Structure 1
Amino acid sequence: MPPAPPRNRIRLLREAQGWTQRDLAARLGCTGMTVCRYEQDDDRLYPSLIRQLAEIFACPPAEVVGFDPAPHSEGGTESSADVDKALLEQALRTAHDWLNRQNRPVDIADWAALAATLYRSSPR
Protein backbone atom coordinates (compact mmCIF):
# COMPACT_ATOMS: atom_id res chain seq x y z
CA MET A 1 0.00 0.00 0.00
CA PRO A 2 1.52 3.39 -0.97
CA PRO A 3 2.06 5.94 1.81
CA ALA A 4 -0.64 8.52 2.35
CA PRO A 5 0.07 11.84 0.65
CA PRO A 6 1.20 14.68 2.92
CA ARG A 7 -1.48 17.05 4.10
CA ASN A 8 0.70 20.13 3.71
CA ARG A 9 1.38 22.04 0.49
CA ILE A 10 5.09 22.75 0.86
CA ARG A 11 6.10 20.82 -2.25
CA LEU A 12 3.42 22.49 -4.37
CA LEU A 13 4.42 25.94 -3.13
CA ARG A 14 8.12 25.22 -3.68
CA GLU A 15 7.56 23.89 -7.19
CA ALA A 16 5.36 26.88 -8.06
CA GLN A 17 8.39 29.07 -7.31
CA GLY A 18 10.58 26.86 -9.51
CA TRP A 19 12.80 25.98 -6.53
CA THR A 20 14.55 22.74 -5.73
CA GLN A 21 14.55 21.33 -2.23
CA ARG A 22 18.07 22.72 -1.86
CA ASP A 23 16.86 26.19 -2.88
CA LEU A 24 14.22 26.14 -0.17
CA ALA A 25 16.69 24.66 2.31
CA ALA A 26 19.03 27.60 1.74
CA ARG A 27 16.20 30.01 2.56
CA LEU A 28 15.29 28.02 5.69
CA GLY A 29 18.87 27.44 6.83
CA CYS A 30 18.62 23.64 6.77
CA THR A 31 19.49 20.77 4.45
CA GLY A 32 17.65 19.54 1.37
CA MET A 33 16.95 16.28 3.23
CA THR A 34 15.20 18.26 5.98
CA VAL A 35 13.01 19.97 3.37
CA CYS A 36 12.20 16.53 1.94
CA ARG A 37 11.08 15.43 5.40
CA TYR A 38 8.97 18.57 5.84
CA GLU A 39 7.24 17.89 2.53
CA GLN A 40 6.46 14.29 3.42
CA ASP A 41 5.78 14.47 7.15
CA ASP A 42 3.46 16.97 8.83
CA ASP A 43 4.71 15.85 12.24
CA ARG A 44 7.81 17.97 11.74
CA LEU A 45 5.92 21.22 11.13
CA TYR A 46 5.75 23.40 14.20
CA PRO A 47 3.88 26.72 14.27
CA SER A 48 7.11 28.74 14.06
CA LEU A 49 8.20 26.79 10.96
CA ILE A 50 4.77 27.21 9.38
CA ARG A 51 5.02 30.98 9.87
CA GLN A 52 8.56 31.00 8.43
CA LEU A 53 7.44 29.04 5.36
CA ALA A 54 4.47 31.38 4.89
CA GLU A 55 6.86 34.34 4.87
CA ILE A 56 9.18 32.65 2.37
CA PHE A 57 6.31 31.74 0.04
CA ALA A 58 4.48 35.05 0.66
CA CYS A 59 1.25 33.22 1.45
CA PRO A 60 -0.97 32.76 4.48
CA PRO A 61 0.10 30.08 6.99
CA ALA A 62 -3.18 28.33 6.23
CA GLU A 63 -1.99 27.64 2.70
CA VAL A 64 1.22 26.00 3.92
CA VAL A 65 -0.62 23.45 6.07
CA GLY A 66 -3.37 22.76 3.54
CA PHE A 67 -6.20 24.50 5.38
CA ASP A 68 -9.12 25.01 3.01
CA PRO A 69 -10.89 28.15 4.19
CA ALA A 70 -13.84 27.83 1.82
CA PRO A 71 -16.94 27.17 3.93
CA HIS A 72 -19.41 24.78 2.37
CA SER A 73 -22.79 26.27 1.74
CA GLU A 74 -25.90 24.23 1.04
CA GLY A 75 -28.15 27.03 -0.19
CA GLY A 76 -25.57 29.72 -0.90
CA THR A 77 -27.25 32.25 1.40
CA GLU A 78 -25.01 32.18 4.43
CA SER A 79 -24.69 35.33 6.51
CA SER A 80 -21.24 36.70 7.26
CA ALA A 81 -21.62 35.44 10.86
CA ASP A 82 -22.30 31.91 9.55
CA VAL A 83 -19.29 32.07 7.25
CA ASP A 84 -17.15 33.40 10.10
CA LYS A 85 -18.34 30.59 12.40
CA ALA A 86 -17.66 27.95 9.73
CA LEU A 87 -14.15 29.32 9.19
CA LEU A 88 -13.40 29.30 12.91
CA GLU A 89 -14.73 25.76 13.34
CA GLN A 90 -12.66 24.53 10.43
CA ALA A 91 -9.54 26.29 11.76
CA LEU A 92 -10.04 24.67 15.16
CA ARG A 93 -10.53 21.21 13.61
CA THR A 94 -7.48 21.60 11.37
CA ALA A 95 -5.30 22.73 14.28
CA HIS A 96 -6.60 19.92 16.48
CA ASP A 97 -5.97 17.26 13.81
CA TRP A 98 -2.50 18.59 13.04
CA LEU A 99 -1.44 18.73 16.68
CA ASN A 100 -2.82 15.24 17.35
CA ARG A 101 -0.39 13.90 14.73
CA GLN A 102 2.58 15.33 16.64
CA ASN A 103 4.87 12.98 18.52
CA ARG A 104 4.78 15.13 21.64
CA PRO A 105 2.19 16.26 24.18
CA VAL A 106 -0.23 18.80 22.77
CA ASP A 107 0.08 22.13 24.52
CA ILE A 108 -3.20 24.04 24.60
CA ALA A 109 -1.33 27.26 23.82
CA ASP A 110 0.09 25.70 20.62
CA TRP A 111 -3.37 24.52 19.58
CA ALA A 112 -4.96 27.90 20.22
CA ALA A 113 -2.14 29.79 18.48
CA LEU A 114 -2.28 27.58 15.39
CA ALA A 115 -6.08 27.80 15.18
CA ALA A 116 -5.94 31.59 15.56
CA THR A 117 -3.26 31.85 12.88
CA LEU A 118 -5.31 29.72 10.46
CA TYR A 119 -8.48 31.66 11.21
CA ARG A 120 -6.86 35.10 10.82
CA SER A 121 -5.27 34.14 7.51
CA SER A 122 -8.49 32.89 5.96
CA PRO A 123 -10.25 35.12 3.44
CA ARG A 124 -13.66 36.43 4.42
Structure 2
Amino acid sequence: MTKLEGLRRQKGWTQREVAEKLHISGSIISQVEKGFRKAYPKLMRKLAEVYGAEISDLFESDGTPKILEEDYIILPVKR
Protein backbone atom coordinates (compact mmCIF):
# COMPACT_ATOMS: atom_id res chain seq x y z
CA MET A 1 0.00 0.00 0.00
CA THR A 2 1.26 3.48 -0.81
CA LYS A 3 1.40 6.33 1.65
CA LEU A 4 -1.18 8.15 -0.45
CA GLU A 5 -3.68 5.34 -0.09
CA GLY A 6 -2.91 4.99 3.62
CA LEU A 7 -3.47 8.69 4.30
CA ARG A 8 -6.67 8.72 2.29
CA ARG A 9 -8.04 5.74 4.18
CA GLN A 10 -6.93 7.19 7.51
CA LYS A 11 -8.92 10.34 6.77
CA GLY A 12 -11.92 8.24 5.73
CA TRP A 13 -11.99 9.69 2.21
CA THR A 14 -12.84 7.86 -0.99
CA GLN A 15 -10.78 8.23 -4.14
CA ARG A 16 -13.70 10.13 -5.64
CA GLU A 17 -13.70 12.63 -2.74
CA VAL A 18 -9.98 13.30 -3.18
CA ALA A 19 -10.44 13.68 -6.93
CA GLU A 20 -13.26 16.17 -6.40
CA LYS A 21 -11.09 18.23 -4.03
CA LEU A 22 -8.45 18.42 -6.77
CA HIS A 23 -10.87 18.76 -9.71
CA ILE A 24 -9.44 15.73 -11.49
CA SER A 25 -10.62 12.27 -12.50
CA GLY A 26 -10.98 9.56 -9.86
CA SER A 27 -9.13 7.19 -12.14
CA ILE A 28 -6.03 9.40 -11.90
CA ILE A 29 -6.10 9.12 -8.11
CA SER A 30 -6.48 5.36 -8.35
CA GLN A 31 -3.64 4.98 -10.84
CA VAL A 32 -1.28 7.19 -8.84
CA GLU A 33 -2.15 5.48 -5.54
CA LYS A 34 -1.45 2.04 -7.02
CA GLY A 35 1.78 3.18 -8.66
CA PHE A 36 0.50 2.53 -12.20
CA ARG A 37 1.01 6.20 -13.03
CA LYS A 38 3.60 8.70 -11.82
CA ALA A 39 2.34 11.99 -10.50
CA TYR A 40 3.38 15.14 -12.33
CA PRO A 41 4.83 17.98 -10.15
CA LYS A 42 1.59 20.00 -9.96
CA LEU A 43 -0.37 16.93 -8.84
CA MET A 44 2.29 16.03 -6.26
CA ARG A 45 1.99 19.55 -4.78
CA LYS A 46 -1.81 19.39 -4.71
CA LEU A 47 -1.91 15.95 -3.08
CA ALA A 48 0.65 16.95 -0.46
CA GLU A 49 -1.42 20.04 0.31
CA VAL A 50 -4.69 18.08 0.60
CA TYR A 51 -3.09 15.57 2.96
CA GLY A 52 -1.09 18.17 4.93
CA ALA A 53 2.18 16.43 4.14
CA GLU A 54 5.47 17.18 2.45
CA ILE A 55 5.90 16.07 -1.16
CA SER A 56 9.05 14.18 -0.15
CA ASP A 57 7.05 12.18 2.41
CA LEU A 58 4.60 10.97 -0.24
CA PHE A 59 6.63 10.65 -3.44
CA GLU A 60 9.99 9.55 -4.75
CA SER A 61 11.83 12.20 -6.78
CA ASP A 62 10.50 10.71 -10.04
CA GLY A 63 6.83 11.03 -8.99
CA THR A 64 6.39 7.41 -7.92
CA PRO A 65 4.34 7.15 -4.70
CA LYS A 66 6.22 5.93 -1.62
CA ILE A 67 5.23 2.63 -0.04
CA LEU A 68 4.08 2.32 3.59
CA GLU A 69 6.22 0.34 5.98
CA GLU A 70 4.73 -3.07 6.79
CA ASP A 71 4.20 -2.30 10.47
CA TYR A 72 2.08 0.78 9.76
CA ILE A 73 -1.48 0.33 10.96
CA ILE A 74 -4.41 2.29 9.61
CA LEU A 75 -7.12 2.80 12.15
CA PRO A 76 -10.72 2.91 10.95
CA VAL A 77 -12.29 6.34 10.99
CA LYS A 78 -15.87 6.72 12.13
CA ARG A 79 -17.99 9.06 10.06
TM-score normalized by the length of structure 2: 0.66
2:46 to 30, 52, 66: 52
Counterpart of 2:74 in structure 1 is none
Following superposition, which runs of at least 4 residues in structure 1 exceed 6 angstroms of deviation?
A: none
Q: In structure 2, what is the Cα distance between the partners aligned to 1:33 and 1:41?
A: 12
Displacement of 1:42: 5.9
Report which structure shows greater RCO (CA 8 Å, sep ≥6).
2
State the distance in 1 between where 2:34 and 2:16 align.
Answer: 15
Distance 1:43 1:24 in 2: 16
Q: How many residues align?
A: 64
Quick check: which one's helix share is greater?
Answer: 1
Structure 1's unaligned 5+ residue stretches are 66-93, 102-124
Structure 2 residue 7 is the aligned partner of structure 1 residue 13: yes
User: 2:36 and 2:49 mapped to 1: Cα distance?
Assistant: 18
SS class of match (1:44): coil
Does 2:32 correspond to 1:38?
yes
Letter in 2 for 1:61: I
Per-residue deviation, residues 25-50 of structure 1 (Å, max 9, x unmatched)? 10111122221111112643112211
State the match for 1:61 in structure 2. 55
Bigger-Rg structure (1/2): 1
